[in-house]
Amino acid sequence: MKIRSHLLILVLSTLLPILALSVIISIIFWREQRWALEQRYLERVRAISVALDRELEGHIRALQIFAESPALKTGDFRSFYDQAVRVRERQHNWVNLIVNDPRSGRQVLNLRRPFDAPPVETTADPATLERVVTSGRALITPIMKGRVSGEYATTVIVPAKTDNGQNYTLVAVIRQLAWLRFLLSYPVAPDATMTLLDQNGVIIARTLNNERWVGKRPAPALYELSRKSPEGAYKSVGLEGQLFYSAHSRSKIAGWTVATGVPAPAVEAILWSSIMTMAVAFLCAATLALLLAYRFGRGIIHSFESLGHSAGALISGTPLPAHSVVHVKEASDVARAFQEAAAQLKAQDAALRESQHKLRLQAEELEKQLIASGRLVSLGELTASIAHEFNNPLGIVMGFAQDLMSEKNPSDPDFEPLRIMYVEAERCAKIVKQLLEFPRPRSAELSVTSIASIVEQVLALTRARLYESKIETITKFQEEPLDVMADPVQLQQVLINLFLNAMDAMPNGGNLALEVMSHRGIDAADQPEVLIKVSDTGSGMDETVLPHIFQPFFSANKKSGLGLGLAVSERIIKNHRGRIAVESAPGEGTTFKIYLPSVESAAGKPASPIADAGSRSTATE
C-alpha cells in the first residue's frame, strides 16, 4: 500500500471520531443552550419578583405612615376621612381606604360611603383582622372579587392604634389593573406572556387575555409546579393550548408568584439555528482538512522521493543533489523542547532555593519560639519563687479591707475607697496568677460583657495618672450598645497595658484617643466584630521595632518594663478569638486596633411585613 493510501486512511480515521464527537457535542450543546435559555427566563422572573417585593413594600410603607396620622391617633375620624380622600387621589392604584374595628366587627370609615353614613359590618375576615392586630405586621391578601363593585382587587392591611389604646386595621384596596400595568412595564419576548399569581395560585394579572383569565387558576403544570417549589424552569402547556418554555419565581413578602411563558417554536428555532451553524462549520472544517491533507501529503511524498534519490546518490558515491537536503522540523522541535526543559529545570532550581530560604526562615522562627519558651520556663520558676511572698501581703490587704468594709455602712464616705482598695487588690492577685500562668495559658472565663462598661472602668482607674501626665483623653463610642463574649478582668488588663504604654510614649503630655465601633470581619462569613482603637500622639515606633513588639521580654522602652505587657495582651485577645494589630511611625504616634467577635442581640430588630400565604380575606369594599 502506497503512502498516499495510508495518509487517506489516517485522515478518514481522524475525521470519523470528530464527526461522532460533533454529534455528541451538538446534543450537549442543545441541552446546555436550552438550560441557559431557561435560566435566562428564570432570572427574568426573579428580577420581576424582586421588583414586585419593592412595589409591595412601597404600598406597605405608605399605608403604615398613613396609619400614624395624628387624626387617627386622636380618634378624629372626620379629619382622617378628609386626609384619606387626599391620599387616595395621590395613590392612583388605591381605589378605596377602609378603617375596620376588629372589636366590633364594623367599618369605622369607608371612602366609598359618606362619612356620616351609619357604620356597616366589615367584609373582612374577623380572624384575619385579629391576626393583623395581634402580630402587629402588615398582611397582603389574595385577589378577590368585590361584593358590591364586582371588580377584582387585592388589599394591604396594616394595624393602627389610637392614643387611648383602641386597635384598628387600615386597609388599602388596590385595583387589579395596577398589577397588569406592573407586568406590562417589563419588556418580554414577542408572543411571550407574563402571569402574576396570588398565594392560592389564582391569577391576579396576565399579559395575554387578562380579562378572560383573571381570578381563575393558571395552566395545570404552572399551578402544580408553583405550589411545589418557590421557583423553577420547565416546558409546559399554556391556557390557550400553546407549548411554552416557562419559569416562575415566588415573592418573599406576599407569597405571590411571577411566571413567564415563551412559545416553544421561537425558542427551538434559536436552538436549531445554533445546531445548523455548528453542522455547516463542521462540513467546512472537514472539507478544508481533506484539502490540506492532500496538499501536505504531496509534500511528504516528495520529501520521501527526495530522500530516496539522496540515498541512491550516497550509495553510488556521487555528490548529493542540492534538492536532496531535507529540513526536518522535528529536530528543531526537539532542540526547542530541550531548551524549554532547561528553562524549567532552572525555574525549579530557583523554586527549590526559594523553598530552602523559606524553610530556613521557618527554622529560625521556630528557634526564636524555643528560646522564648525557655525564657517563659525561667520566668515561671522565678515567679513561682516570689508568688508566695507577693500574694501574702495582698491577702492581708484584702482581709483588712474586707474587715473594714464589714464595719462600715455602704452610705459611709469611707466605704467606697475601701471597696475600691479591695477590688484592685483582688485584681492584682488575678494579674499575679495570670503572670504565673503565662508560660501555660489558661482559658478565658467568657461572659457577655459591655465594652462601654470596661472602658469606663479603665478610664476611672487611670484618670489620676493621665491627669498627672498631662494627657487628654478623647473618647468616641457608637450609639448602639456593643457587647462581646469576654473575660472582663483580662480585657481590662489589655486596655490598661495599652494605656500605660501610651503614657510612656508621651512623657511631655499629649492626646489619647479611644474609639469603639462595630466592624465587619475579614473572613468569608463576614461575621460582625467590635473594633477598639487606642491611639496616642507619642513618639511612635519605626519599622525595625514593630515586628517584635508582641514577643515576650521585648520592650521598645529600655528604661521600664519587662516586655511582657503586649505579649500577655496578644495572648488574651487570641484566647477571645480576636486579633490585635498596630500602626505606628516615628513622630506620628501609635494606634492599636483590637477586633473581638460581637454578640448579636435579637432585641430591637424591626419585623419585616410578611404576608401569610395561606390566609384569605374579603375586604374589598
pLDDT tens column, 543-580: 888 888 887 766 666 555 556 778 888 888 888 888 99
Alpha-carbon gap, residue 355 to 438, rounded angstroms: 34
Nearest to 516 by CA among 581, 583, 453: 453
Measured CA distances, 399 to 386, 391, 417 (Å): 20, 12, 15
Backbone φ and ψ for 458, nearest 5 degrees, come out as -65, -40
Average pLDDT over residues 62-68: 92
User: What is the SS3 assignment for 150-215?
Assistant: CCEEEEEEEEEECCCCCEEEEEEEEEHHHHHHHHHCCCCCCCCEEEEECCCCCEEEECCCHHHHCC
C-alpha cell at 465: 495618672
Among 232, 80, 35, 73, residue whose Cα is nearest residue 161: 73
CA atoms within 13 A on the CB side of 7: 16
Cβ atoms 502, 566 nearer than 8 A:
no
- The reported pLDDT for the residue numbered 43 is 93
In the three-class reduction of DSSP (H, G, I as helix; E, B as strand; rest coil), residue 307 is classed as helix
Q: How confident is the model at residue 407 (pLDDT cuts 50, 70, 90)?
A: confident
pLDDT in tens, 229-259: 999 999 999 888 889 999 999 999 999 999 9
Higher pLDDT, 320 or 386: 386
List the domains of the chain with CATH numbers: 1-282 (3.30.450.20), 327-430 (1.10.287), 441-597 (3.30.565.10)
Task: Report how far residue 171's alpha carbon sits from residue 140's, in angstroms, rounded to the nearest whole number.
Answer: 10
The band of 373, judged by pLDDT with boundaries at 50, 70 and 90, is low
Residue-wise pLDDT for 91-123, tens only, equals: 888 999 999 988 888 888 999 889 888 888 887
In the numeric block, the cell 388599602 is attached to: 172
User: Strands (DSSP E) along 264-404, which ranges?
Assistant: none
Lowest mean pLDDT among 131-145, 449-463, 603-617: 603-617
Mean pLDDT for the chain? 80
Tens-digit pLDDT profile for residues 300-310: 666 556 555 55
261 CB-near residues (< 8 Å, 6+ apart): 192, 193, 195, 222, 236, 238, 244, 245, 246
Whether the predicted model's global pTM rises above the 0.85 cut: no
Contact residues for 381 (Cβ-Cβ < 8 A; gap 6+): none
Separation CA 275–CA 292 (nearest Å): 26
Kindly state the average pLDDT of the residues 34-44. Answer: 89
The Cα–Cα gap between 356 and 99 comes to: 80
